[in-house]
């Protein structure tokens, strides 16, 4: 059963679904242009409109800004090269501030007027409208979220390893490095809701496979001081900590642990870091023994794909720093673009045409991990790159283990 534990989201979902239950999605409003290309919502003879639902003012504001600006960069580059299917791309953006009511309201506002969404940040909010997407809207959504609860949808397509698999790979890294061993306890500090509880499913599986014990600490996105959690985990005698929360919570956890002499490695999911943290009091502690998993190389890696993107982004936004949100956003926009090109070739720029095109994309990826989108039941990849905060590296991260899949992650299936 898919988890639906985010109470505020559920309440909002009830109102949102009630408010749009009369909406028809018959597909009768499709048309064809003069070249025979079928079109529908969000597509005119000259323009393709995509939606972006992001967080520019809430708990993931730094990530949301980078993701969104990277997608705007992709739009500018694509349009300068002639667009797609003789049409210019337009990105309509709404900031939900990581607020469930604003997120669902923004989706409801944009959905009728866009072909699909190149960004929807926040797994609880995507989950809140999942039934609408699958049942009536049928627009492709590329979430900035990696919850396994989103798998199985033809239209909501997670890019990279889901949180559970990523967490298994992170614990495997600690085992490989001999930082933990069979019989040890490891702590897991996690957000309530889809993100944290999906990551917890991964840590529990990894613990079962390796003979470890998980000590849980559930928190809310509004909890910023991790003093109580660190104290509880220290008293429990854990040998390492997993954090599945936001950058603020991760910085507090690592900083408090260092300040109290609790010297254990900490690993975090891809959403649990921002390079801006290196300029805070927690910066030194983060560089000492904190590690991040991600479905791509860091933006500062010297590989061609990352270095080309870093250069283009820095030229477009010279006053803004680099972080992995740049890769995440650009990769999602590029994936939507790949589907649009295939849809154009098939003369079908409707939502159904984009969905069909996306189901044929495999071997996609210029950032250290290849992706396969042919099976909606599976993540596009099971690989995780493990990185370490580093103030000397562009983007504030350096690779400590390239993309790998742990044996426990290779065989893992969600219940």
pLDDT tens digits for range 230-280: 999 999 999 999 999 999 999 999 999 999 999 999 999 998 999 999 999
Mean pLDDT of 383-407: 96
**Count of beta carbons in the 10 Å neighbourhood of residue 212:** 23
Q: Look at residue 23 and tell me whether its pLDDT is greater than 80.
A: no
Mean pLDDT of 58-68: 92
What's the DSSP call for residue 172?
A: H
Residue 241 lies in a domain: yes
Residue 21 lies in a domain: no
- Give the span between the Cα atoms of 31 and 29, in whole angstroms: 7
Mind listing the pLDDT tens digit for each residue in 321-339? 999 999 999 999 999 999 9
Mean pLDDT of 40-68: 95
Residue 377 lies in a domain: no
Q: Look at residue 22 and tell me whether its pLDDT is greater than 70.
A: no
235: its two tokens: 């008293």
Residue 29 pLDDT level (bands cut at 50, 70, 90): low
On whether the CB atoms of residues 143 and 155 are closer than 8 A, the answer is no
Same-domain check for residues 107 and 178: no
Residue 415 lies in a domain: no
Same-domain check for residues 361 and 268: no
**Count of beta carbons in the 10 Å neighbourhood of residue 79:** 14
- Give the span between the Cα atoms of 97 and 126, in whole angstroms: 14
Same-domain check for residues 258 and 404: yes
Q: Look at residue 400 and tell me whether its pLDDT is greater than 80.
A: yes
- Does residue 264 sit in helix, strand or coil? coil
- Angle separating helix axes 351-358 and 324-345, nearest 10 degrees: 110
- Give the span between the Cα atoms of 62 and 276, in whole angstroms: 8
Measured CA to CA in angstroms, residue 223 lies from 137, 191, 236, 266, 281 at distances of: 35, 9, 21, 18, 18
Same-domain check for residues 192 and 177: yes
Residue 32 pLDDT level (bands cut at 50, 70, 90): confident
271: its two tokens: 């959403």
- Give the span between the Cα atoms of 206 and 407, in whole angstroms: 10
Average pLDDT, the chain: 92
Same-domain check for residues 251 and 359: no
Q: What angle do CA 230, 233, 235 make, to 5 degrees?
A: 105
Same-domain check for residues 255 and 392: yes
Which residues in 323-349 are b (16+ Cβ under 10 Å) and which e? bbbbbbbbbbbbbbbbbbebbbeeebb
Same-domain check for residues 286 and 389: yes
Measured CA to CA in angstroms, residue 43 lies from 32, 67, 143, 305, 349 at distances of: 11, 23, 21, 30, 7
The pLDDT of residue 59 is 84
Measured CA to CA in angstroms, residue 19 lies from 7, 104, 128, 245, 318 at distances of: 19, 11, 14, 32, 43
Taking every pair of C-alpha atoms in the chain, what is the biggest distance, in angstroms?
Answer: 71
Same-domain check for residues 274 and 395: yes
Same-domain check for residues 155 and 204: no
- Does residue 227 sit in helix, strand or coil? helix
Q: What angle do CA 314, 318, 320 make, to 5 degrees?
A: 90
Residue 378 lies in a domain: no
The pLDDT of residue 193 is 86
Residue 113 pLDDT level (bands cut at 50, 70, 90): very high
Residue 194 pLDDT level (bands cut at 50, 70, 90): confident
Q: Look at residue 388 and tell me whether its pLDDT is greater than 80.
A: yes
97 CB-contact burial (10 Å; exposed 0-12 / middle 13-18 / buried 19+): middle
Residue 23 lies in a domain: no
376: its two tokens: 């909606």
The pLDDT of residue 30 is 73
Residue 1 lies in a domain: no
Please give the tally of structural domains in the chain: 2
Q: Look at residue 1 and tell me whether its pLDDT is greater than 70.
A: no
What's the DSSP call for residue 276?
A: G
Q: Look at residue 8 and tell me whether its pLDDT is greater than 70.
A: no
Same-domain check for residues 280 and 187: yes
Residue 286 lies in a domain: yes
CATH classification of the domain holding 390: 3.40.50.2300
Same-domain check for residues 402 and 264: yes
Q: Look at residue 307 and tell me whether its pLDDT is greater than 90.
A: yes
92 CB-contact burial (10 Å; exposed 0-12 / middle 13-18 / buried 19+): middle
Mean pLDDT of 179-197: 95
Same-domain check for residues 36 and 127: yes
* Domain housing 182: 163-294+384-410
Measured CA to CA in angstroms, residue 162 lies from 143, 157, 269, 400, 413 at distances of: 11, 11, 10, 20, 11
Model pTM score: 0.86
Q: Look at residue 12 and tell me whether its pLDDT is greater than 80.
A: no
Residue 34 pLDDT level (bands cut at 50, 70, 90): confident
């Amino acid at each position: 059963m898919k988890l639906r534990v985010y109470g505020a989201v559920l309440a909002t979902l009830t109102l949102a679904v009630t408010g749009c239950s009369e909406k028809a999605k018959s597909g009768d409003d499709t048309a064809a242009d003069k070249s025979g290309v079928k079109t529908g919502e969000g597509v005119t003879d000259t323009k393709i409109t995509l939606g972006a639902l992001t967080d520019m003012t809430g708990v993931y504001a730094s990530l949301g800004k980078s993701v969104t600006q990277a997608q705007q960069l992709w739009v500018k580059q694509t349009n300068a090269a002639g667009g797609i299917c003789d049409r210019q791309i337009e990105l309509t953006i709404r900031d939900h501030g990581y607020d469930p009511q604003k997120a669902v309201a923004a989706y409801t506002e944009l959905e009728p007027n866009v072909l699909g969404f190149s960004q929807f940040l926040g797994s609880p909010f995507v989950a809140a409208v999942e039934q609408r997407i699958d049942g009536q809207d049928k627009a492709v959504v590329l979430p900035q979220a990696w919850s396994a609860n989103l798998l199985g949808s033809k239209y909501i397509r997670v890019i990279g390893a889901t949180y559970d698999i990523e967490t298994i790979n992170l614990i495997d890294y600690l085992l490989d490095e001999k930082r933990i061993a069979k019989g040890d306890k490891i702590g897991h500090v996690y957000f309530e809701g889809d993100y944290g509880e999906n990551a917890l499913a991964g840590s529990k599986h990894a613990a079962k496979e390796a003979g470890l014990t998980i000590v849980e600490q559930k928190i809310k996105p509004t909890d910023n001081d991790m003093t109580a959690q660190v104290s509880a985990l220290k008293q429990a005698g854990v040998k390492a900590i997993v954090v599945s929360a936001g950058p603020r919570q991760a910085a507090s956890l690592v900083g408090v642990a260092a300040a109290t002499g609790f010297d254990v490695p900490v690993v975090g999911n891809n959403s649990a870091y921002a390079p801006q943290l290196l300029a805070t009091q927690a910066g030194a502690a983060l560089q000492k023994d904190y590690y991040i998993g991600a479905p791509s190389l860091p933006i500062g890696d010297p590989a061609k794909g990352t270095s080309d993107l870093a250069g283009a982004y820095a030229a477009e936004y010279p006053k803004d720093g680099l972080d992995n949100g740049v890769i995440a956003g650009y990769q999602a926009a590029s994936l939507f673009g790949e589907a649009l090109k295939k849809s154009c070739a098939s003369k079908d720029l409707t939502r159904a045409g984009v969905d069909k095109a996306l189901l044929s994309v495999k071997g996609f990826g210029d950032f250290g991990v290849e992706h396969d989108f042919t099976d909606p039941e599976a993540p596009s990849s099971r690989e995780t790159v493990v990185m370490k905060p580093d103030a000397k590296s562009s983007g504030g991260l350096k690779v400590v283990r390239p993309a790998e899949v742990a044996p426990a992650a290779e065989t893992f299936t969600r219940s």
